[in-house]
Amino acid sequence: MQHHLESELKALQHQLLKMGGIAENMLRDAVQSVLNRDEGLAHRVIEIDDTVDKLENEIEARCIQLIARHQPVAFELRYLTMAMKVNRNIERLADKCVSISRRSIELLAYPPMQPLVDLPSVVHIIQQMVKDALDALVNRNAELARELRERDGKVNNIYEQMESELCSLLNEQPQLIQSGIKHLLLFRHLERVGDLAANIGEEVYYLVRGEVIRHLDISIDASVES
């Protein structure tokens, strides 16, 4: 017979994944709105954020109710604490998609800028990180969850490179300063999406292994692995 809380946790996971799926689509559309200068798509991303906000509240209320009613321990306790944090991270991720969309709309006022780096390939890494974070949750895959931290490190490096190249360009062409600032903010939003995907990975790792890797140096991961 299935334990009562088990079925509740399954329903909770279903809701979390629904929210994660919406956020994934928001990220795809927000990025497309930038690349294709599609204002309508950007507005649709902004509109859908209300759905994610509502889901965040529902999931949080559900977690609190399950903790109060079942007083969970062991895996179930880890699951519910993880769910609350993943819930928050997905909501913040959706907020970043809204910010990307807002920058996308603002950038329409300026002529397209010569791409500083291969933006689509950076976007691809970040989108894959979000997808893998949710896959790690579904499959309770600690290794995939932990590995997101490494990819986040790479994204941070690319962001720094983009920032430095943009600064050089703006030094040479100061008339691009307004558009440049919008681009800088856009890169920053994308970099934060990578952070949030890595955060979800850290929470999934805690769920599966019962160990907190948050704030640990990535170099320590090698010893964790061994």
Partner 1 sequence: MMQPKINSPTLHINDLNVWYGKNQILKDLTFDVLAKQVTAFIGPSNSGKTTLVRCFNRLNDLTTNFKHTGKILFKGNDLYSTKMNATKIAKQIGMVFQKPIPFRKSIYENVAYSARLHGINHSVELNETVEDSLRKAQLWEEVCNDLQSTPDILSNGQQQRLCIARALAGNPEVLIFDEPCEQLDAAETPKLEAIVQSLKSQYTLIFVTNKRRQAARVSDVAGFLYCGELVEFGQTEQIFTNPQDKRTEDYVTGRLG
Among positions 207-226, residues that touch partner 1 (CB under 8 A) are: 210
Q: Is the dihedral of CA 45, 46, 50, 56 positive or negative?
A: positive
Choosing from 5, 35, 117, 216, the residue that interacts with partner 1 (CB under 8 A) is: 5
Single-letter amino acid code for the residue at 85: K
Binding of partner 1 by 67 (CB under 8 A): no
Closest CA to 136 of 225, 210, 204, 78: 204
Minimum distance between the CB of residue 93 and partner 1, rounded to whole angstroms? 27
Minimum distance between the CB of residue 82 and partner 1, rounded to whole angstroms? 12
Binding of partner 1 by 68 (CB under 8 A): no
What's the number of CA atoms in the CB half-sphere (13 Å) around residue 77? 5
Choosing from 3, 10, 14, 214, the residue that interacts with partner 1 (CB under 8 A) is: 3
Minimum distance between the CB of residue 84 and partner 1, rounded to whole angstroms? 15
Which segments within 87-169 are labelled E, that is strand? none
- CA–CA separation, 78 vs 75, rounded Å? 5
Nearer to partner 1, 92 or 209 (CB): 209
Measured torsion, CA atoms of residues 103, 104, 105, 107, in degrees rounded to the nearest 10:
80
Minimum distance between the CB of residue 72 and partner 1, rounded to whole angstroms? 7
Binding of partner 1 by 75 (CB under 8 A): yes
Binding of partner 1 by 69 (CB under 8 A): no
Choose the stretch contacting partner 1; rule: CB under 8 A; options: 41-49, 65-73, 146-154, 194-202. Answer: 65-73
Count residues contacting partner 1 (CB under 8 A)?
A: 11
Choosing from 29, 49, 76, 191, the residue that interacts with partner 1 (CB under 8 A) is: 76
Which pair of tokens denotes residue 181?
């600032």
Contact status, residue 19 vs residue 52, Cβ threshold 8 Å: yes
- CA–CA separation, 104 vs 123, rounded Å? 14
Choosing from 68, 74, 109, 222, the residue that interacts with partner 1 (CB under 8 A) is: 74
Choosing from 71, 139, 168, 173, the residue that interacts with partner 1 (CB under 8 A) is: 71
Cα distance from N-terminal residue to C-terminal residue, the chain: 37
Minimum distance between the CB of residue 6 and partner 1, rounded to whole angstroms? 9
Burial class (CB in 10 A: 0-12, 13-18, 19+), 199: buried
- Contact set with partner 1 (CB under 8 A): 3, 5, 71-78, 210
